């Protein structure tokens, strides 16, 4: 028997050697801790946010106000997860909506998502009077948007996510 701290060996989903401060677009999915439905409900294919869901939406919209290199595009808060498109602009010019190719010295994607998760967790814990409780799963899914066709397909996926909730793998009552 081995004693001592347990070391978690998780497979990274990040692209090896990729610079996540690079200008370009990223599709993000973040799930709540234990995929708990906290943000509202889907009714007739439409997401109806509760107070917690509205707070998460406000925190996502806060990102570009805090970080000038960030632009947000299509996004949706679902009962137990979040999908969004985030663009990181080159430090010297406007945003890029295609594959990131320009190197910047700005905050990397992981730190931007970390800021969103931290702010939303603190606000929700204040709302629920649950200091220190985790809101989000430890990691998140990310996909580098490579071209306009990729962007259009992801926008369609996000916009139609509430319509597919009944079959969504994140839905705890999906068959």
The string of DSSP codes covering 119-159 is: HHHHHHHHHHT-TT---B-S--EEEEE-SHHHHHHHHHHHH
Is the residue at 174 inside a domain? no
Round to whole Å and give the CA distance between 48 and 89. 31
Give the three-state DSSP class for 35: helix
Handedness of CA 82, 58, 95, 101 (dihedral sign): negative
- The pTM assigned to this predicted structure is 0.81
Is the residue at 5 inside a domain? no
Is 152 a residue whose pLDDT tops 70? yes
Is the residue at 156 inside a domain? yes
Give the three-state DSSP class for 65: helix
Q: What's the confidence (pLDDT) of residue 5?
A: 47
- Which residue segment(s) compose the domain that 90 sits in? 24-167
Residue with the bigger pLDDT between 172 and 92: it is 172
Is the residue at 17 inside a domain? no
Is the residue at 136 inside a domain? yes
* pLDDT per position as a tens digit, 38-59: 999 999 999 999 999 999 999 9
Q: What is the CATH number of the domain that holds 94?
A: 3.30.70.1290
Q: What's the confidence (pLDDT) of residue 103?
A: 42
* pLDDT per position as a tens digit, 104-113: 346 899 999 9
Is the residue at 78 inside a domain? yes
């Amino acid at each position: 028997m081995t004693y001592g701290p347990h070391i978690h060996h998780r497979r990274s989903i990040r692209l090896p050697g990729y610079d996540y401060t690079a200008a370009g677009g990223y599709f993000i999915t973040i799930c709540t801790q234990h995929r708990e439905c906290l943000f509202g409900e889907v009714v007739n294919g439409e997401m109806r946010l509760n107070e917690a869901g509205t707070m998460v939406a406000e925190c996502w919209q806060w990102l570009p106000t805090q970080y000038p290199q960030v632009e947000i595009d299509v996004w949706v808060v679902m009962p137990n997860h979040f999908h969004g498109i985030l663009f990181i602009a080159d430090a010297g010019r406007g945003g890029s909506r295609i594959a990131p190719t320009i190197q910047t010295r700005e905050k990397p994607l992981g730190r931007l998502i970390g800021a969103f998760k931290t702010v939303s967790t603190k606000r929700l814990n204040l709302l629920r009077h649950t200091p220190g409780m985790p809101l989000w799963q430890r990691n998140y899914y990310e996909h580098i948007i490579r071209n306009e066709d990729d962007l259009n397909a992801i926008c369609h996926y996000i916009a139609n996510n509430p319509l597919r909730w009944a079959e969504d793998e994140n839905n705890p009552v999906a068959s």
